[in-house]
Amino acid sequence: MSEQKLPTFEDVVAASERIAGVAHRTPVLSSSTANAELGAEIFFKCENYQRMGAFKFRGGYNSLARFTPEQRKAGVVAFSSGNHAQAIALSARLLGMPATIVMPHDAPAAKVAATRGYGAQVVIYDRYTEDREQIGRDLAARHGLTLIPPYDHADVIAGQGTAAKELFEEVGRLDYVFAPLGGGGLLSGTALSTRALSPSAKLFGVEPEAGNDGQQSFRSGSIVHIETPKTIADGAQTQHLGNLTFPIIKRDVDDILTASDEQLRADMRFFAERMKMVVEPTGALGLAAARAMKAQLQGKRVGIIISGGNVDIARYAELLAR
């Protein structure tokens, strides 16, 4: 990973050509209730309606589509808490290659089932005691598989950047953009598109309060590692930013904000009641931060990326009820 060059907006453009006709061009939705409540014009980029239910299909497919014939033949290995797994499994199936996915023992049942359903082989590990990166690397070495990490890879970042590219193409320039933050693939890709297509927009990454390594890293200037945070936002339970994602975030992002599990629950409820949308906890990070910044958003045009909608339905009901 150390030898990789930072991706640029040109790579995002190339990725958007590669995924065209395969990934969905997801809708940009608005809500007059949200606009009235925030005193702003809000544009929700709805990646919960992306194939397999999250933006990760963009980066996964873009990466696998670039494999050589030899790499395709041996197949891909990935480690993931869920959505990256499904993205790689589905992309591999579409491209006709084998996939092995390393998943944590406590990954949501729906995500494990969906990954197996796409035809991938699933290897389970304990997220609190084992190192998934090591397991992934061992499998890659032993079987000649190509490892595609969930965020710290130029093709993954470029693919994730296509969501914001589509958003700006559809609604034009924005004053503020909010994107969920885990390891930073989505945020760094969003940053490349934002600085190219709406350069003066203020761009914020939003991570769970329980695991604010991204905020600590951004404010201190070097990558901070933390223990796996306990939060309902399982798509953002990462322990550190990446060697590729962090320099882009440092250069192009205005700040990193946080949201509590309680705020995420309230926003999931809002999406369900007002917009009839199932949004997973991590997908609600952007709205949570925008609500907290309401005073600054008055009269502004605001883009919020809803990153995904994959949540076990029994768990979803539980999260909304409490």
Ligand X SMILES: *Cc1c(COP(=O)(O)O)cnc(C)c1O
| Distance in Å, CB of 159 to ligand X, minimum | 10
Give the count of residues interacting with ligand X (CB under 6 A).
22
Question: What's the token pair of residue 307?
Answer: 């990153």
Interface with ligand X by CB under 6 A: which range of 21-29, 134-142, 184-192, 224-232?
Answer: 184-192
Bin 271: left if φ > 0, else alpha if -120 < ψ < 50, else beta. alpha
* Residue 207 annotated among the catalytic residues of the structure: yes
CB 72 within 8 A of CB 97: yes
Interface with ligand X by CB under 6 A: which range of 28-36, 131-139, 275-283, 314-322?
Answer: 275-283
Q: Is residue 235 a contact point for ligand X (CB under 6 A)?
A: yes
For ligand X, the closer of residues 160 and 194 by Cβ is 160
| Distance in Å, CB of 142 to ligand X, minimum | 26
| Distance in Å, CB of 3 to ligand X, minimum | 21
Collapsing DSSP to helix, strand or coil, 137 comes out as: helix
* Interface residue with ligand X, options 108, 183, 208, 303 (CB under 6 A): 183
For ligand X, the closer of residues 72 and 315 by Cβ is 315
Q: Is residue 283 a contact point for ligand X (CB under 6 A)?
A: yes
Q: Is residue 88 a contact point for ligand X (CB under 6 A)?
A: no
Interface with ligand X by CB under 6 A: which range of 14-22, 133-141, 232-240, 288-296?
Answer: 232-240
Instruction: Kindly list the distances between the CA atom of residue 135 and the CA atoms of 65, 78, 79, 102, 274, in Å, as whole numbers in the listed order.
Output: 24, 10, 8, 8, 43
Q: Is residue 268 a contact point for ligand X (CB under 6 A)?
A: no
Label residue 42 exposed, middle or buried (CB < 10 Å: 0-12, 13-18, 19+): buried
Cβ within 8 Å of residue 199, ≥6 positions away: none
DSSP letter, residue 54: B
Q: Which residue of the set 209, 307, 309, 312 is catalytic?
A: 307
* Interface residue with ligand X, options 54, 120, 287, 319 (CB under 6 A): 54
* Residue 56 annotated among the catalytic residues of the structure: yes
**Tokens 């768990």 -> residue:** 315
- Enumerate the β-bridge partners of residue 76: 99, 146
Q: Is residue 277 a contact point for ligand X (CB under 6 A)?
A: no
Q: Is residue 101 a contact point for ligand X (CB under 6 A)?
A: no
| Lateral strand order in the sheet of 146-147 | 121-125, 99-104, 76-79, 146-147
* Residue 60 annotated among the catalytic residues of the structure: no
* Interface residue with ligand X, options 75, 136, 149, 185 (CB under 6 A): 185
Q: Is residue 182 a contact point for ligand X (CB under 6 A)?
A: yes
Question: What's the token pair of residue 198?
Answer: 């709406």
Task: 215-223: list long-range contacts, CB under 8 Å, 24+ apart.
Answer: 215/255, 215/256, 215/257, 215/258, 217/241, 217/246, 217/256, 218/249, 218/250, 218/253, 218/255, 218/256, 219/256, 221/250
Q: Is residue 281 a contact point for ligand X (CB under 6 A)?
A: no
* Residue 220 annotated among the catalytic residues of the structure: no
Catalytic machinery residues = 56, 81, 207, 211, 213, 307
Q: In the complex, which residues of this chain contact ligand X (CB under 6 A)?
A: 54, 56, 83, 150-151, 160, 180-187, 235-236, 238, 280, 282-283, 307-308
